[in-house]
Homo-oligomer: A and B are copies of this chain.
């Protein structure tokens, strides 16, 4: 993509945003899109929308219903600029792309950086993608195709192919002159200048804010910092995000298998990755495959039914345990009253341990070195917690049913289930991780299966042995 003076044109459109904590979107611009939709005349509509920042425009587009959105795009496709496409969620981009002519899309893509353009092209149907790529300059087309050749969620797909590199012998003055001459061809924003050797391997960098502190004759080599992290182009996005967080990076060079500089990742793209990964974790723990605001009821069903089905199987498994002791329940119905308490407490305690372990794995605080310590700590904490709540439940059972032996059964079952819950909560994600699976996916189901089965078995089994 050719870099442009985006910020200049941008400036004119930006109205200063008043921060208002109470509004839903953090400011109060009104809802220009709905107002604009009511206008008959296109030019009035365009005027009405001109005051919006692309980020606000896209937020408002996302809040419209699918029908309203499509009507707007059909009436004034020219309003959907490259920046707005870059701001919109993928699911929304997918639905409006077919409404925009290929020529306009090609123009829109030229105004944004290569990494943003790649994400938009990804969402196109094959036929439209061909048309759009054909409408691009050969250089831009080649850059896009190079990105698309990489796997989804790898750095090669996400990186920016525009960057500033300089040879070691350049001086500060050479570098400033180069940037003044190149001007428009530079990336829209960049933070580091990479210093490369003759094989184009990055050997150092200098932050732009540091470059300016030196006099013109100083050579880059004498003031450059050593590169801390180099990112291989086939690295997974999650791994790259971790390195950015750990080393507080603002920008990092991306290299090909020969170690040659081919692109850069910047921190603004990393934030998106971090948010995606966090969303994935929180939804996976709750057993949802994916969800967006634009989901219909039907896609909601599709994203949730699979894990509910697995849950049904495990619930039946737990019920089979209960069925083994149906004779005990029909003798002492109090067992049916108390057994869900034991199972529920174990389930909750297991979920707590699980969430802590998954989060610690995400932050790499839980490693193979600290795993045993974590498991021991969970088991010990679970024993404490189990004893506390076993005492409480025993008292409740005694006051309720006036039966000391029943209270004893509840006491023992509660402790056993808590200990199993704590150990399962921390071990299941560790085991999944060890075998290369995502520790958040499926672990809830495993853990609650353990706590249900153990809870019912311990409680009803002891009851059958002691009370009958």
Which residues does chain B contribute within 8 Å of A358, judged by CB atoms?
282
Q: Find out whether the CB atom of B355 lies under 8 angstroms from the CB atom of A385.
A: no
Q: Find out whether the CB atom of B186 lies under 8 angstroms from the CB atom of A300.
A: no
CA–CA, A214 to B5, complex, Å? 13
Q: Find out whether the CB atom of B16 lies under 8 angstroms from the CB atom of A227.
A: yes
Q: Find out whether the CB atom of B53 lies under 8 angstroms from the CB atom of A228.
A: yes
A349 to chain B, nearest CB (A): 6
- Closest residue to A356 on the B side, CB-wise? B291
Residue-by-residue, is A225-267 near B (CB-CB < 8 Å gives 1, otherwise 0)? Answer: 1111111100110010011111110100000000000000001
Decide yes or no whether A452 CB sits under 8 A from chain B: yes
Instruction: Determine which of B179, B271, B281, B322 lies in contact with A267 in the assembled complex, contact meaning CB atoms within 8 Å.
Output: B271
Q: Find out whether the CB atom of B392 lies under 8 angstroms from the CB atom of A345.
A: no
Q: Find out whether the CB atom of B368 lies under 8 angstroms from the CB atom of A24.
A: yes
Contact count band on A: 35 or more
A366 to chain B, nearest CB (A): 7
A239 to chain B, nearest CB (A): 6
Which residues does chain B contribute within 8 Å of A307, judged by CB atoms?
348, 352
Q: Find out whether the CB atom of B19 lies under 8 angstroms from the CB atom of A176.
A: no
Decide yes or no whether A465 CB sits under 8 A from chain B: no
Stretch from A93-101, A120-128, A143-151, A330-338 that touches the partner: A330-338
Instruction: Determine which of B7, B59, B207, B452 lies in contact with A225 in the assembled complex, contact meaning CB atoms within 8 Å.
Output: B7
Residue-by-residue, is A266-278 near B (CB-CB < 8 Å gives 1, otherwise 0)? Answer: 0110110011001
Instruction: Determine which of B182, B268, B392 lies in contact with A250 in the assembled complex, contact meaning CB atoms within 8 Å.
Output: B268
Q: Find out whether the CB atom of B352 lies under 8 angstroms from the CB atom of A287.
A: yes
Contact residues of A between 321 and 335, Cβ < 8 Å to B: 322-323, 326, 329-330, 333-335
Which residues does chain B contribute within 8 Å of A232, judged by CB atoms?
19
Decide yes or no whether A412 CB sits under 8 A from chain B: no
Q: Find out whether the CB atom of A285 lies under 8 angstroms from the CB atom of B282.
A: yes
A253 to chain B, nearest CB (A): 12
CA–CA, A319 to B459, complex, Å? 15
Decide yes or no whether A442 CB sits under 8 A from chain B: no
Q: Find out whether the CB atom of B323 lies under 8 angstroms from the CB atom of A337.
A: yes
Stretch from A43-51, A70-78, A129-137, A309-317 that touches the partner: A309-317
CA–CA, A63 to B211, complex, Å? 37
**Known interface pairs A179-B213, A286-B355, A359-B279; A231-B345 also in contact (CB < 8 Å):** no
**Known interface pairs A209-B208, A282-B358; A370-B180 also in contact (CB < 8 Å):** no
Q: Find out whether the CB atom of B186 lies under 8 angstroms from the CB atom of A246.
A: no
Instruction: Determine which of B296, B329, B374 lies in contact with A329 in the assembled complex, contact meaning CB atoms within 8 Å.
Output: B329
Q: Find out whether the CB atom of B340 lies under 8 angstroms from the CB atom of A329.
A: no
Q: Find out whether the CB atom of B360 lies under 8 angstroms from the CB atom of A293.
A: yes
A329 to chain B, nearest CB (A): 5
Decide yes or no whether A191 CB sits under 8 A from chain B: yes
Contact residues of A between 11 and 28, Cβ < 8 Å to B: 11, 14, 16-17, 19, 21, 24-26
CA–CA, A452 to B343, complex, Å? 12
Instruction: Determine which of B59, B336, B369 lies in contact with A246 in the assembled complex, contact meaning CB atoms within 8 Å.
Output: B59
- Closest residue to A186 on the B side, CB-wise? B213
Decide yes or no whether A110 CB sits under 8 A from chain B: no
Which residues does chain B contribute within 8 Å of A366, judged by CB atoms?
293
Which residues does chain B contribute within 8 Å of A103, judged by CB atoms?
none
Q: Find out whether the CB atom of B297 lies under 8 angstroms from the CB atom of A377.
A: yes
Q: Which 6 residue pairs across A and B have the least CB separation, nearest first?
A: A286-B355, A24-B367, A300-B381, A336-B336, A297-B380, A293-B365
